[in-house]
Amino acid sequence: MIGVALELFARRSPDEVSIDEIASAAGISRPLVYHYFPGKLSLYEAALKRAAEDLADRFREPHEGPLGARLLRVMRRYFDFVDDHGPGFSALMRGGPAVGSSTANALIDSVRQAAYVQILSHLRIEEPPARLELVVRSWISLAESTALLWLDGRRVPRAELEVQLVQDFAALVAVAAAHDGPTAALLKPLLKDEPGDGPFADLVTRLVSLAA
């Protein structure tokens, strides 16, 4: 039932989706919907919770291979969700018209924290330096805002944005490392495994070309 509701809410505003429509799509009776949920608001909150859990899972990635390639796979899965659940993603990130701010904020925070923990695990660290923590959390917010803006017209090719966000991460970490010894010490062993054709190396090539 929640899965069906999420699919309907992902395509249209919750104000446009009725309990009768949800019941029909799920192949159950209207009274059975009310047996589990007192109203559409509670069902909508449950659907957003499912969406938040799904979105958080998109940041899970095996710790194998270069960091740039891993982050690129994460961004592809992230944008798969955004592409498939555009209105649902917007509702989750913006709170949605039917959800109280406390509920929405808790769901959003759970996604951000899950993403933060996963990124730190790829950096092989549990307690990051203060500057690195700022970078990781800022990058997660950047991915959110980029996805929301992309949904408004999709004027930039999705694949280019995925690569750009990975390179944004590299650039933010590099700037932090330039100002912070502990961050630089963490960055060096991770970069030594990056291939010449990866997204991080591509960024360096583009920057050198601009400087020339």
Segment 128-186, tens digit of pLDDT: 999 999 999 999 999 999 999 999 899 999 999 999 999 999 999 999 999 999 889 88
Amino acid occupying residue 25? A
**Whole-model pTM over 0.75:** yes
Segment 78-126, tens digit of pLDDT: 999 999 888 778 777 765 544 445 776 788 888 899 999 999 999 889 8
The whole-number pLDDT of residue 101 equals 54
Domain positions in the chain? 62-211
- Cα gap 60→138, rounded to integer Å: 19
The whole-number pLDDT of residue 176 equals 93
Task: Give residues with Cβ within 8 angstroms of 81, minimum separation 6.
Answer: 54, 55, 58, 89
Q: Measured between alpha carbons, how far is residue 99 from residues 85, 146, 151, 177 in Å?
A: 17, 23, 21, 40
Confidence of residue 51 (pLDDT cuts 50, 70, 90): confident
The whole-number pLDDT of residue 96 equals 53
Is 62-211 CATH 1.10.357.10?
yes
Task: Give residues with Cβ within 8 angstroms of 162, minimum separation 6.
Answer: 72, 75, 76, 79
Query: And the tokens for 9?
Result: 């809410």
Q: Which of 74, 30, 22 is nearest to 47 (CA)?
A: 22
